[in-house]
Structure 1
């Protein structure tokens, strides 16, 4: 493959930026935390997202000749057992995430066309059907390979970044020309209150910035990966951190947390742009339509990345015989088409079951969704542990950001402690809403035991696969 056909620096930056940054994360946490979201984003960016991105860049530079991403990075430091646990947890969490995200695209299309959300209570029944159609279409696009849609991610990412910058600039211009801030900033509402409610919300902030690992599965498609990949991760990290921190300030200037709550979380991101435009006497409907059109393009690119990347991470580098052979078969471009269509089929079943009125099966899938809620936390804990092991072995790598092992260990242990605290903190939301001690116990088992149960399920699948393969080999030798 010639260098002309490979991914360049800014395309890789956008492949990281697009699935990681979401303006909706800013508005959601502005509702939950108000001005306290600003220092919270800063803490998360400096103490979790930045070191995590550095870890990924260093581990990727060590394994630049492989394409497994998360699996390869963990396996190189901790071995195949932990690599399997980390990647399987990541894959399962993504599977249930995809079940929910396809419904967001029709909503953004509605805002782009009509300037409002037409999928209200009367039309909401259409979303599952549209989600199934989108799952099939976007999976088909994903099977065409990363380079086919990398231009879309590049285009959408740059426009999203531009839209965010424009929003921030005009929010501050409004303040400079005398428009009052919609939110009153005080010491009391800006400094976080470190109570149970804040800790639960802060835990989810950690994983709102997760996503730097997504681009790692495409490292073999990168032009000059030794230099390009680490640089792209660092640039994307800085852009994402700045967008979240400064974007949160801008949102608070334009609209109060109370007004955002009235807008409904599903519509909050659109309402903020509409409010900003109207503050300057501009037609808010047209502005929100332009923003929604950009968001639609970006969302499509982001979901294609999320469809394809975990598949590569899970099945591209696992030892032969770990999973059924059809799941690990690649085409000439390294795309796992059969695994992608298998994933699509599972997601469609999960979307369709409620439509069929099969209450018992629907309850089963809802249980699985609950069990998978914190599965995304597990791979980051294992990845950070892998990096700590990697640095303690003092392995030579083409790219080493932390020249001092002491500095690397300080940042790594802070990120590890935050990840573990995030795992337990995120579950507080589920448990605090329990109406009885029995219900609380059930929630604890589902929330914290869920990832363990799903990991055991993964091992059962691999055990059965190996048993079947062994029987086939015996039959062939007879």
Structure 2
């Protein structure tokens, strides 16, 4: 591949920024935490997101000749067993995330066309059917190769930045010209209450900053990866952290916590733009329609990256014989088409099996957020552990941010503790809020059961694949 076709610094920054940053993540956590989301973003950015991104950058630079991403990073330190655990958990998290993605697209499309969400609780039953159609269409697009969408992803990242900057500017301009803040900031509502309710959504904060690992699977396509990749990860990390913190302040200036909770998870990201426009005497419906239309189009590019990237991470460089051969077959462009369609089939099954129910569409989005979040925490726990071992063994990487092992250990252990807290915290609220033991058990199973079952399924798949390969070898030797 010539240098002209390689990915440059800012394209890589956008490929990291687009799948990671989402204005909806700001409003989702604002709905759950109110003004307390602001210091929460600061803590998560400084103590989890930035150190994790540095770990990825160092491990990626040490494996810059490989394309496996998170699998390669873990395997190079802890071996194939832990690499499988970490990467399969990442793949499982992506399955739940894709369910949420396919449900979000119709909602954003509705806002773009009608200026409101037509998928209320009465016709929420349509979302699974539309999600199945979208799963098939977007998977087909992903099989054609994600590189051709890098320009759209680049534009999407710039649009997301621009839309967020415009929102923040107008929010603060409104305050300067005399429009009172919609939220009264007090010590009581701003400082997080470290109770079960807080830790129940803490994993959402960790999930919201996930995404830096996506770019890792394209390190071989990067121009001068030794310098470009670490620099891109750090730039994207800083941009995302700043956007989340200042964006949360702006949201609180524009709309009250009570109004956000009334809008609920599925609508909050659009209602705040509508409210901001109306505060300045602009037609809020038209503004939110334009915003939703552009967001829908550009987000699809990011979702296509999310469809394909975990597949690369999972199946690209696993040892031969770990999975059935059809899952690891690549076409001439290196795309794992059969694995993509297998993923699509699994997601469709998860969509149509009515385990969660749709009695409340907001509850539906909440449980999917929980499932995606806690599943994604597992590979991060393994990745952080790999980095700790990497540093303790004294291994060197072309790019080393933490010059001192002591500093690296402090940040690593803090990030590890936060990850574990986020994982177990997802079920605390269900346990404490249940009236009966049976109700608590059902809710815990819904939260933890899906990811655990799918992780076990991965081991079963590997076991039978190796058994089949062993039997085939015996047959050939006879």
TM-score exceeds 0.5:
yes
Question: Corresponding residue for 1:159?
Answer: 159
Q: Deviations over 1:396-428 (max 9, x none)?
A: 211111111111111111101111111111221
| 2:332 matches 1:332 | yes
User: What secondary structure, in the 3-state scheme, does the structure 1 residue paired with 2:15 have?
Assistant: helix
Bigger drift between 94-103 and 417-426 goes to: 94-103
Which range moved further: 187-196 or 279-288? 187-196
Unaligned runs of 5+ in 1: 358-366
Q: Residue 138 of structure 1 aligns with which residue? A: 138
CA distance in 2, matches of 1:215, 1:240: 15
Q: What is the DSSP-based 3-state SS (H/G/I as helix, E as strand, rest coil) of the residue aligned with 1:90?
A: helix
Cα distance 1:106–1:46, how it changes in 2: closer, same or farther (>3 A)? same
1:70-149 alignment, distance < 5 Å:
70-149=70-149
Question: 1:50-61 alignment to 2 at 5 Å?
Answer: 50-61=50-61
- Post-superposition Cα deviations, 1:236-257, rounded to whole Å, max 9, x if no partner, equal 1011101110000000000001
Say if 2:395 is the partner of 1:395.
yes
Aligned CA-pair RMSD: 2.1
- How far apart are residue 93 of structure 1 and its match? 1.8
Pairing 1:410–2:401 present: no
- TM-score under structure 2 length normalisation: 0.93
Cα offset, 1:375, TM superposition? 2.4
Q: Which position in structure 1 is the counterpart of 2:362?
A: none
In 1, the alpha carbon distance for the partners of 2:273 and 2:441 equals 42
Question: Does structure 1 conserve the Cα–Cα contact (< 8 Å) formed by 2:132 and 2:348?
Answer: yes
Asked whether the equivalents of residues 206 and 377 of structure 2 are also in contact (C-alpha less than 8 Å), the reply is no
- Identify which range, 451-460 or 177-186, moves more after superposition: 451-460
TM-aligned CA deviation for residue 150 of structure 1: 1.3
Residue 272 of structure 2 is aligned to residue 272 of structure 1: yes
Aligned to 2:427: 427
1:74–1:83 CA contact under 8 A, matched in 2? yes
Aligned length: 468
In the alignment, what sits opposite 2:255?
255
- Are the structure 2 counterparts of residues 130 and 449 from structure 1 closer, same or farther at C-alpha, using a change threshold of 3 Å? closer
For 2:127 and 2:411, locate their aligned partners in 1 and report how far apart those are by CA, in whole Å.
Answer: 43
Equivalence for 1:205:
205
CA distance in 2, matches of 1:125, 1:447: 21
- Structure 2 counterpart of 1:69: 69
Contact 1:375 1:450 in 2 (8 A): no
Q: Matched residues in 1 for 2:277 and 2:373: separation?
A: 37
Rounded to whole Å, the distance in 2 between the matches of 1:430 and 1:373 is 15
State how far apart, in whole Å, the 2-side matches of 1:26 and 1:204 are: 10
* CA distance in structure 1 between the partners assigned to 2:171 and 2:372 by the alignment: 38
The residue number in structure 1 matching 2:30 is 30
Gaps of 5+ in 2: 358-366
Cα pair 1:203 1:423 within 8 Å, conserved? yes
For 1:118-142, what per-residue CA distance to the aligned partner results, in whole angstroms no more than 9, with x for missing partners? 2234443332222122111111111
TM-score (norm 1): 0.93
1:426 alignment partner, SS class: helix
Pair 293,444 (structure 1): closer, same or farther in 2 beyond 3 Å: closer
The DSSP-based 3-state class of the residue aligned with 2:172 is: helix
Q: Once structures 1 and 2 are overlaid, which stretch shifts more, 330-339 or 436-445?
A: 436-445
Matched residues in 2 for 1:101 and 1:435: separation? 32
**What's the CA shift for 1:453?**
4.6
**CA distances 1:415-455 after superposition (whole Å, capped 9, x unpaired):** 01111111111221332332212443455566557655543
1:182 equivalenced with 2:182 (yes/no): yes
